[in-house]
Chain A
Amino acid sequence: MDMKTQTRSTDPLPADGEPVAATRWKRERKRYTDWCTLGFCILGGLLVGITVLALANITMAELADPAHLIKIATSSTVIESILLTFGAGASAVLLLIVFGTPLAYILARSRPSRFKGVVESIIDIPLILPHTVAGLLVYLLFMRRGWLGAPLSDIGLAFEDALPGTIVAMLFVASPFYINSMREGFEKVPVHLENVARTLGAGTFTMFRTVSLPLSLRHMYSGAILAWGRAIGEFAGVIMIAYYPFIISTLIYYSFTTDGIRASRSIAFTVILISFGVFYLLRRMTRHLGRYDDRV
């Protein structure tokens, strides 16, 4: 009762029959500024602004000469290099799925211990190393005289300046992204769901195949996308062991140092457009995949 009278006394009656509450809210909103939220928005905006500016910059420059852009974008070197990069990235992700998924499951289900901590740190090593260091590590291990490179080259698998080298370098730098995401997914699968499957007569692998894995599909998918994005963006890690064949980063760098800004910019712009397109499609597909994850 009190509140009602107060509202009436401080609020003039609205002229055109608008509800009292609405006008009051509007006025209050204008009068009150939340400086904290505003400050956060400004700071964040600056960050996003840099990306937007950079993209606008390259777009304006490229759209000024579409003929040149099309010529570069359709050249066989660029197309081959893009296909190679995406393909090598996909191969690395495939290997990660085969070897990383079991590892992630073991990590998710084992009790904390010192050994587990060590394993987790080892997995994270590629995250903290400078990419050149990562590249050097891969190179030293897989080069023709390396611990793994020597025996493998004996059976005809060469890594130096060859596609396997590209893939193995991508695999190395992208692995923590996939494994960590997958582990998180497995951790979210309640153990009692697995127990139900086991009481119903499922063996360990059947339980994994019918319960744990399907319920973590979304994490597997987003982990794979993340790892793939990381793999196709790799430069320093890859060039150490496989300068050839040109992956897209190497091609852009090569073009930048030999042909100059104009050619490399057009390749870069092509890559931007294609990457946007691909990632947008992949993300859209996640939505449908997410359904399975909604559960009790």
Chain B
Amino acid sequence: MAIIEARDIRKVYGNLEVLHDVDLSVEEGEILGLIGPSGSGKSTLLRILDLIEPPSGGELSVFGTDTVAERSRWLDLRRRMGMLFQRPIVFNASVYDNVAMGLRYRGVSGSDIDRKVKEALDAVGLSRYIKSRATDLSGGEQQRVALSRVLVTDPEILFLDEPTANLDPGSTATIERIVADLNREAGMTVLISTHDLAQGQRLAHRIAVMIEGTVAQAGSPHAVFHEPGSRKIAGFVGVQNIIPGRVVSRQGGLTTVAAKDRRIISATPSPADEVFVVIRGEDISLHRREPGYEEAENLFPARVTAIESMAPFVNVTVDCGCDLVVLMPARRAEALEIHVGMEVWVSLPAKVVHLVPQNGP
């Protein structure tokens, strides 16, 4: 059974609609990544799911409780959840007092608080700062204090609102490791919002993409990153090639699409006549000469027209009748001596060519 079930959630501030038609269900024990551009409503949705603020409309059940009908139980429900915010927020008090806050709110006895706070600080590697003033710590350390402050209350659902947006890679890795361990060992359900696509892929079992105030697509990381549901989602998940085209034939499970002067074969059943061809740059192989043996359905001669550094990768734009961007390691591009004007071959299997309708959402 879903631990969180949201239907048609809507949130309006004044006359600004921040969320509309949000449908989302979260399974117990999973890590759900919420990705989307800034301002797409991720933080607002998390605040609503954590019952910090009520939605303007829709249905929401948490732990199987209908939150609309049982408003008086919000505090009890909220005490079974925890949230970590984007900015490291600590109170101007000792680290100990910061971590103890949630336990004190729950009326836990002094000796239990003592024991749990020490355990929680051990878990995030901050035991030595127990007596320090929390505001004196660095940003990364403050965020770890904030995390242990949440974890000490043993939440069944943990919300993370872009928890590592302001942190250095080291602190980010620590926090990601703690969250992944908790999920694996304690079965904690985790909702993490992030605009760091790589983080979403690393951590999440399932990903929901938010675009302009609603969940545009939810599915496995593979589905979201390789088979995005629309042009906008494809753009957000960093697909380099989104090319308008027209379906010219369908046979044997393969669809042929004409994109400018090139026909590309796709394994996607065609969703419409007018489509966008969606291809990730790393799925295209680039060869110096025509390969003697190639399994890929698409093999085209091409000419290099631009090279753009994306350290440690490069985007190589080639013209093969239509423009394609190939993502490859910079060292490999050097080894192949790729340069503008060079004649090359590109190949791509039909199954990496994804199609979305042009008139879709």
Interface residues of chain A, those whose CB is within 8 Å of chain B, are 111, 192-193, 195-203, 206, 210-211, 292, 294-296
Contact = CB atoms under 8 A, between A and B. Distances in A.
B105 A295 contact: no
Contact of B75 (A192, A193, A203, A292): A203
B50 A199 contact: yes
B110 interface: no
Interface string B40-72: 000000010010100000000000000000000
Given A201-B106, A206-B105, A296-B135, A195 B85 contact: yes
Interface of B: 14, 47, 50, 52, 75, 78-79, 81-83, 85, 87, 89-92, 101-102, 105-106, 135, 146, 149-150, 153, 159
B153 A201 contact: yes
B105 A202 contact: yes
Contacts of A296: 89-90, 92, 135
Contacts of A295: 91-92, 135
In the complex, which of the residues B50, B105, B149 has the most CB atoms of chain A within 10 Å of its own CB atom?
B105
24 contacts: A111-B14, A192-B85, A193-B91, A195-B85, A196-B85, A196-B89, A196-B146, A199-B50, A199-B52, A199-B82, A199-B83, A199-B150, A199-B159, A200-B82, A200-B102, A200-B105, A203-B75, A210-B101, A210-B105, A211-B91, A296-B89, A296-B90, A296-B92, A296-B135
A296 B153 CA distance: 24
Contacts of A210: 101, 105
Contacts of A198: 52, 78
Contacts of A197: 101, 105
Given A193-B89, A199-B81, 8 more contacts: A195-B85, A196-B85, A198-B78, A199-B50, A199-B150, A201-B102, A211-B91, A296-B135
B121 to A, nearest CB: 16
Given A195-B47, A295-B135, A296-B135, A200 B150 contact: yes
In order of increasing CB-CB distance, the 3 nearest A-B pairs are A200-B102, A199-B83, A201-B79
A112 B102 CA distance: 32
A196 B153 CA distance: 13
A195 B153 CA distance: 16
Contacts of B52: 195, 198-199
Contacts of A203: 75
A295 B91 CA distance: 7
A203 to B, nearest CB: 5
A294 B92 contact: yes
Nearest to B135: A296
Contacts of B150: 199-200
Name which of A199, A201, A203 has the most chain B CB atoms within 10 A of its CB: A199
A111 B13 CA distance: 10
Contacts of B91: 193, 211, 295
A292 B133 CA distance: 12
A201 B103 CA distance: 8
A75 B89 CA distance: 57
Given A193-B89, A295-B92, A296-B90, A201 B14 contact: no
| Residue of A193, A196, A198 with most chain B CB atoms under a 10 A cut-off | A196
Nearest to B13: A111
Contacts of A111: 14
A192 to B, nearest CB: 6
A197 B146 CA distance: 11
Contacts of B159: 199
A200 B98 CA distance: 11
B305 to A, nearest CB: 48
Contact of A201 (B78, B89, B92): B78
Contacts of A294: 92
A188 B89 CA distance: 15
Contacts of B78: 198-199, 201
Contact of B89 (A192, A206, A292): A192
B87 A200 contact: no
Contacts of B50: 199
Contacts of A193: 89, 91
A30 to B, nearest CB: 46
Contacts of B75: 201, 203
B209 to A, nearest CB: 25
Contact of B92 (A196, A199, A200, A292): A292
A195 to B, nearest CB: 6
A193 B89 CA distance: 7
Nearest to A199: B83
Given A111-B14, A195-B52, A295-B135, A200 B149 contact: yes
A201 B83 contact: no
Nearest to A293: B92
A203 B104 CA distance: 12
B190 to A, nearest CB: 15
Contacts of B79: 201
Nearest to A203: B75
Nearest to B50: A199
A167 B105 CA distance: 38
A26 to B, nearest CB: 42
B79 to A, nearest CB: 4
Nearest to A294: B92
Which residue, B47, B81, B85, B92, has most C-beta atoms of chain A within 10 A?
A: B92
A193 B87 CA distance: 11
A203 B51 CA distance: 12
Nearest to A190: B89
Given A111-B14, A195-B85, A201 B135 contact: no
Give the residue among A197, A202, A211, A294 with the most B Cβ atoms within 10 A.
A202
